[in-house]
Amino acid sequence: MTEKRPTLRGRIRAVRGETYRKMGRYDQALAHLNRAIELNPEDASAIGSRGRTYWAMDRYVEALADLNRAIELNPEDVSALASRGYTYWDMERYGEALADFNRAIELDPGDAWALAGRGETYRAMGRYDEALADFDRGIELDPEDAWVLAYRGETYRLVERYDEALADFNRAIELDPEDDDYIMKRAEIQRHIGPAEPTVLQTAPRFTPASRPVARQLADMCRRSADGSQTEVDGGSAEAARWCRREGGSGQPQYRLAMFEVDRPCC
């Protein structure tokens, strides 16, 4: 019994660390996972969990070291393979990312997270039809995954299938009305489609009060860009400013689209 105690204590630490990771409390996660691995240096699950924690903290070199070790210990660990794929994706090493996602999906064809990652990799490589196929499958597996819907919507936008892109972002916002990026992307798509018809306004997702300031910020940003009073912005608003200025600096079409977001029915 004495020989097994370190492993048991290590597993308890590992479970706590994984719980903290899922809560986004990464420093606490690392503290527990480091101790878990000290107690059990060959615990592939704990090592993989620490690798995912490093990945979430943008510490990619350390993430790769742990995920490589976890896969060495358990070559069929789908979660570790997919996590390494995402790490490679963030490092723009798309060929290696694709290999990991392919292997993860070969082991578990129903892993929606791996499918979404491969779809994102295909999109980054300009292989849009294959990206859409993976996103379609991911949404089939989980129709309420706003993240994958937004990924597919962005892919539709890139291939200029704007109506389908708009439908996906509408649904993503309905599922996650607080995501600022979804709101900005939808307004960008609406710019390509043209003024919204009354029926669009009637069927669009309803916004909570918390999400509406994002659209107001866009509207105000575009107004100031149009009259020349806003030339430099903080990093958090830089994307909005660039978005406003795309029509020859006038800002007016984007202002109207931003107000389209503000004027949607609320609650």
Q: Measure the CA–CA gap between 261 and 220, rounded to whole angstroms.
A: 12
Q: Which of 215-219, 229-233, 240-244 has the highest mean pLDDT?
A: 215-219
pLDDT band for position 180 (cuts 50, 70, 90): confident
Give the angle 252-256-253 at the CA atoms, nearest 5°.
35
Q: Measure the CA–CA gap between 87 and 183, rounded to whole angstroms.
A: 27
State residue 8's pLDDT score. 84
Burial class (CB in 10 A: 0-12, 13-18, 19+), 134: buried
Average pLDDT in the chain: 80
State residue 16's pLDDT score. 93
pLDDT band for position 220 (cuts 50, 70, 90): low
More confident call, 110 vs 228 = 110
The contacts of residue 205 (CB under 8 Å, 6+ apart) are 170, 171, 173, 174, 177, 264
State residue 187's pLDDT score. 85
More confident call, 220 vs 173 = 173
List the beta bridge partners of residue 207. 266
Q: Measure the CA–CA gap between 99 and 55, rounded to whole angstroms.
A: 18
Q: What domains, with CATH codes, occur in the chain? A: 1-74 (1.25.40.10)
- Whole-model pTM? 0.72
Q: For residue 94, which of 61, 63, 123 has the smallest C-alpha distance?
A: 123
Q: What is the DSSP letter of 209?
A: G
Q: Measure the CA–CA gap between 168 and 90, rounded to whole angstroms.
A: 24
| Residue that has been written with the tokens 């490092």 in this structure | 91
The answer, yes or no, to whether residue 141 has pLDDT greater than 50, is yes
- Average pLDDT of span 204-231: 50
- Average pLDDT of span 225-242: 46
State residue 254's pLDDT score. 44
Q: Can you tell me whether residue 207 is helix, strand or coil?
A: strand
pLDDT in tens, 73-131: 999 999 999 999 999 999 999 999 999 999 999 999 999 999 999 999 999 999 999 99
State residue 259's pLDDT score. 46
State residue 71's pLDDT score. 98
Q: Measure the CA–CA gap between 211 and 180, rounded to whole angstroms.
A: 7
- Using alpha carbons, list the distances in angstroms from residue 205 to 123, 130, 177, 233, 255: 27, 29, 8, 30, 20
8 Å CB contact between 186 and 206: no
State residue 181's pLDDT score. 87
State residue 223's pLDDT score. 53
State residue 205's pLDDT score. 46
More confident call, 190 vs 85 = 85
8 Å CB contact between 151 and 119: yes
pLDDT in tens, 23-72: 999 999 999 999 999 999 999 999 999 999 999 999 999 999 999 999 99
8 Å CB contact between 68 and 38: no
